Structure 1
């Protein structure tokens, strides 16, 4: 099916612009949830439990906003695509290392990953300033949560 069964409140150009932003954000959030879970399973060392639990909080936040972003895409007549092959092909999230990682290397990687996602998210917030303020509001909410998570991860090394 190529034609959307959902009518959009947006004009075609605004729907396309906003849809691309939502799709890119969806892919980043799916990848973030997978990376954080990978880190959760493989973190070792002093303060293991704290990092282990904090990673689950990050997974929960990423998954919540993944669903919110996908549902927003649907609401404007865009079919979201969170399939594994789509995430692999289009994610801009830095790769997380294999195997066990110390708490320190885990924190450093998560801080870097969150920082890069936040930078891209802030650009997307700007992109939706003219195309769809409702989506922009959602992206601002996502950014606020990820920036809070970013701060909490950075605070471990301060």
Structure 2
């Protein structure tokens, strides 16, 4: 792994942290794109509230995309947010094309956020022994994702 004078001297710790940061970057970039796609193609009675909530998800994902990428650089790791990289490595289920009803978008975002949160919880555990600063970023981000998940989930009941 090519690094620029990383503060993490242990190669295994650096690799684990790098993998967690890169996976997070892919999740966040694609989450912002999936939420924006839903935002543009939303229809239904709850249009306005869901439309605005999707923007909150996009803003959260974009904010933390930069935070995660900059953390990687601070550790001497090259973040890779290229379209091809995201397309090849995303684990987020892609939305159907065309207009989507508010109920379908709410259910889809609830599921997508739950899956992303599960991966972030794995990253929190993975970085517990390797880099507490990265772990702290993941903890704060996960709290924001869990809030968004809750706000979508209550609309499914």
User: TM over 0.5, yes or no?
Assistant: yes
Structure 2 residue runs of 5 or longer lacking an equivalent are none
- Aligned runs of 1:109-148 on 2, under 5 Å? 109-148=108-147
Structure 1 unaligned blocks of 5 or more: none
Q: How high is the TM-score relative to the length of structure 2?
A: 0.96
| Counterpart mapping for 1:1-158 below 5 A | 3-4=2-3, 6-11=4-9, 12-158=11-157
Report SS of the residue matched to 1:131. coil
Per-residue deviation, 1:15? 1.1
1:3 deviates by 3.7
Report the Cα distance in structure 2 between the residues aligned to 1:124 and 1:50, rounded to whole angstroms.
31
Displacement of 1:156 after TM fit? 1.4
- Quick one: distance in 1 between partners of 2:85 and 2:44? 34
TM-score, normalised via structure 1 length: 0.96
Q: Kindly report structure 1 stretches of 4+ aligned residues shifted beyond 2 Å.
A: none
- CA deviation after TM superposition for structure 1 residue 157, in Å: 2.0
Could you report, residue by residue, the CA deviation over 1:36-74 in whole angstroms, capped at 9, with x for unpaired residues? 000000000111111111111110000000000000000
